[in-house]
C-alpha cells in the first residue's frame, strides 16, 4: 500500500450561493429601480467572512512516473542497541514515464539512527532496484521514523513509516526472500598454484550441478575463467579459454569450462585474485582479449577458488567498492568463493596455510557465499554456489551474534528446519553465518526466517 504523499491539497470551501443567481438578482433589482446603465459584467464584492473558491490544481497530463517502495511499512523488529542492522527495500516505477529519484532522507525524531545510500537513481517504467538501509538503535526503546523519497513523481515526496525496537538482549528475528536474476555474468578466479590440484578436480567433477541450477532457473548466463597468477604475462587477468554462454549446449558449456580451468598447477604462489579480476574487467583487456563477456544489464558474480589469502595490494573494502562501481546498483554484484575459512592442517587431505580473510570479508560485504575449500560435500557445495550465484540465497550473515547454537531457530516458508549438515542448517561461528543444505535449500520466492537469542553484536 502506498503511503499518503507529504504534499496535500487544500479542501475547497463550498460557495453559499451560485454567482449566476446573484447576478440575476441584481439585474432584476436594477430594472425595478429604473436604472438602465447597470453592467451585468460588474464584479461583485465577496461577502464578509467568505473566501473565494480556489482554483483546483490541474491534473498532470500525459505519461507520469509512479514511485512505490516496498515493504510498506518497513519493519525492523528487535535490534541490539548500538548494533547496526541492514535491510533491503525495493524502489519501483509503476508509472509510464521515467522516474528520477533524487535522494532518500529520514524524517521524525529518530531519523538520525537510520541510514541510506546517496542517490540519484533513474528507473524506467516497470523497473525496480534494491536499496540497502541501516538501523543502529542507540537506546533501549522503540524507534520510529519515515523514509522519505524525493522524486519527480507528480504526487510529491513519498513517506514510508518505519519502526524498530532497540533491545539490550533478547530474541532477534531476521528474514530473507530470494528471487533469481534474469541475466548473469560469472567470473571464476582459479588458484592454479601447486596445492590446488585436488580442489580444482572436484570443481571440474561437479560442474554439471552448477550449470543445471542455471538451466532450471532460466538464467541467461556468461561464464569466463582467469587464474590468480599475475606474474605470467599469458595470464594476468586474461581469460583462459572462451566465454561460455547460455546459447551453448550443455555438453559444449561443460567441455569449454573444463578446458578453461585446466591451467595446471605451476602458477605463481603469490596468489592475487583481487588483482586478477580487476585486470580482467577493466581496459585494455575488457575490449580486447576479454571482449564479449561483461554486459551492462547483467548481474555480476565473481567466484574465487583458493586455499590461500589474497596477496593483492588492494584491501577488501576498496575492492568491493570498485566491484560495485561496475554496475548502476551495488546489489547487482556478489563475491563468492570456495576458500580457506580457517587454518587447517591435514597431512592426508586438505590443508589451509592461512584463512582467506580478505575473500571472506568481500563475500560478507556483498552478501555472497563463502564455501569451505576443504568440504567433504562438493556436490552440496556446488549446488549452493550455483543457487547463490543465481540470486537464491543459501547462506545468511546474521547482524548479531547468537548466544549459543541452541539459541538459533530456522524456518523456510513457515516450516521449521532442523540442525543437520546434510539436509538442514548449520552455523559457522567464524563468519557468523547460517547455511542451509540439501533438501532444506529454499525455492524461488520462499521466505527464510532465522530467530536467535543474542546479547552481543555480530
pLDDT digits (tens, 9 = 90+) for 385-433: 998 899 888 888 888 899 999 999 999 999 999 999 888 999 988 778 8
How far separated are the first and last CA of the chain, in Å rounded?
33
pLDDT value of position 280: 97
pLDDT confidence of residue 264: 67
| β-strands 333-339, 400-402 pairing | unpaired
Residue 71: asked if its preceding bond is cis (omega within 30°), the reply is yes
Look up cell 546517496; give the residue: 118
What is the pLDDT, as a whole number, of residue 49? 57
Burial class, 84, CB count within 10 angstroms (exposed 0-12 / middle 13-18 / buried 19+): middle
Instruction: Output the CA torsion sign for 235, 240, 242, 248.
Output: negative
- Which phi and psi (to 5°) does residue 165 adopt? -115, 125
The per-residue pLDDT for 14 is 36
330 φ, ψ to 5°?
-55, -25
Task: Read off φ and ψ for residue 339, nearest 5 degrees.
Answer: -145, 175
Residue of 301, 279, 290, 280 lying closest to 185 (CA atoms): 301
What is the pLDDT at residue 47?
58
Q: Is 218 exposed, middle or buried (0-12, 13-18, 19+ CB in 10 A)?
A: exposed
- Ranges under pLDDT 50 in the chain: 1-5, 7-44
Domains of the chain (ranges, CATH numbers): 67-168 (2.60.40.10), 183-457 (3.40.50.410)
For residue 399, give every residue at least 6 positions away whose Cβ sits within 8 Å of its Cβ, in sequence order, or none.
79, 83, 84, 85, 86, 172, 174, 457, 458
Interatomic CA distance for residues 85 and 75, integer angstroms: 12
pTM for this prediction: 0.64
Amino acid at each position: 500500500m502506498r503511503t499518503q504523499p507529504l504534499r496535500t491539497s487544500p479542501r475547497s470551501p463550498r460557495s453559499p450561493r451560485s454567482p449566476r443567481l446573484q447576478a440575476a438578482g441584481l439585474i432584476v433589482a436594477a430594472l425595478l429601480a429604473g436604472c438602465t446603465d447597470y453592467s451585468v459584467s460588474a464584479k461583485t464584492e465577496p461577502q464578509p467572512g467568505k473566501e473565494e473558491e480556489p482554483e483546483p490544481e490541474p491534473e498532470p497530463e500525459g505519461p507520469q512516473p509512479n514511485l512505490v517502495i516496498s515493504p510498506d511499512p518497513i519493519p525492523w523488529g528487535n535490534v541490539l542497541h548500538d548494533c547496526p542492522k541492514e535491510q533491503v527495500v525495493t524502489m519501483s516505477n509503476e508509472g509510464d514515464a521515467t522516474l528520477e529519484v533524487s535522494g532518500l532522507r529520514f524524517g521524525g525524531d529518530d531519523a538520525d539512527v537510520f541510514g541510506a545510500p546517496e542517490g540519484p537513481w533513474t528507473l524506467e517504467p516497470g523497473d525496480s532496484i534494491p536499496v540497502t538501509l541501516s538501523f543502529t538503535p542507540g537506546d533501549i526503546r522503540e524507534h520510529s521514523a519515515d523514509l522519505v523519497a524525493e522524486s519527480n513523481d507528480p504526487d510529491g515526496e513519498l513517506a514510508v513509516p518505519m519502526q524498530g525496537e532497540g533491545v539490550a538482549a533478547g530474541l532477534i528475528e531476521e528474514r530473507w526472500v530470494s528471487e533469481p536474476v534474469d541475466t548473469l555474468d560469472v567470473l571464476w578466479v582459479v588458484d592454479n598454484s601447486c596445492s590446488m590440484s585436488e580442489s580444482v578436480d572436484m570443481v571440474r567433477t561437479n560442474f554439471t550441478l552448477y550449470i543445471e541450477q542455471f538451466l532450471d532457473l532460466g538464467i541467461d548466463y556468461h561464464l569466463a575463467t582467469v587464474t590468480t597468477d599475475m606474474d605470467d604475462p599469458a595470464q594476468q587477468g586474461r581469460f583462459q579459454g572462451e566465454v561460455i554462454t547460455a546459447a551453448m549446449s550443455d555438453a559444449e558449456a561443460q567441455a569449454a569450462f573444463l578446458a578453461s580451468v585446466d591451467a595446471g598447477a605451476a602458477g605463481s604462489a603469490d596468489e592475487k585474485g583481487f588483482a586478477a579480476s580487476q585486470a580482467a574487467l577493466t581496459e585494455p583487456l575488457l575490449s580486447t582479449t576479454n571482449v564479449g563477456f561483461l554486459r551492462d544489464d547483467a548481474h555480476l558474480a565473481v567466484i574465487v577458488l583458493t586455499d590461500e589469502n589474497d596477496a593483492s595490494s588492494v584491501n577488501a573494502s576498496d575492492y568491493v567498492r570498485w566491484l560495485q562501481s561496475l554496475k548502476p546498483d551495488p546489489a547487482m554484484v556478489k563475491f563468492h568463493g570456495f576458500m580457506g575459512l580457517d587454518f587447517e592442517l591435514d597431512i592426508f587431505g586438505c590443508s589451509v596455510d592461512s584463512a582467506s580473510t580478505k575473500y571472506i570479508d568481500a563475500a560478507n560485504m556483498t552478501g555472497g557465499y563463502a564455501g569451505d575449500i576443504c568440504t567433504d560435500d562438493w556436490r552440496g557445495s556446488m549446488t549452493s554456489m550455483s543457487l547463490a550465484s543465481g540470486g537464491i540465497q543459501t547462506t545468511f550473515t546474521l547482524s548479531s551474534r547468537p548466544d549459543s547454537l541452541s539459541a538459533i531457530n530456522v524456518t523456510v516458508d513457515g516450516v521449521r528446519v532442523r540442525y543437520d549438515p546434510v539436509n538442514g542448517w548449520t552455523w559457522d561461528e567464524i563468519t557468523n553465518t547460517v547455511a542451509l543444505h540439501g533438501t532444506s535449500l529454499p525455492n524461488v520466492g520462499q521466505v527464510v526466517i532465522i530467530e536467535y537469542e543474542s546479547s552481543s553484536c555480530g
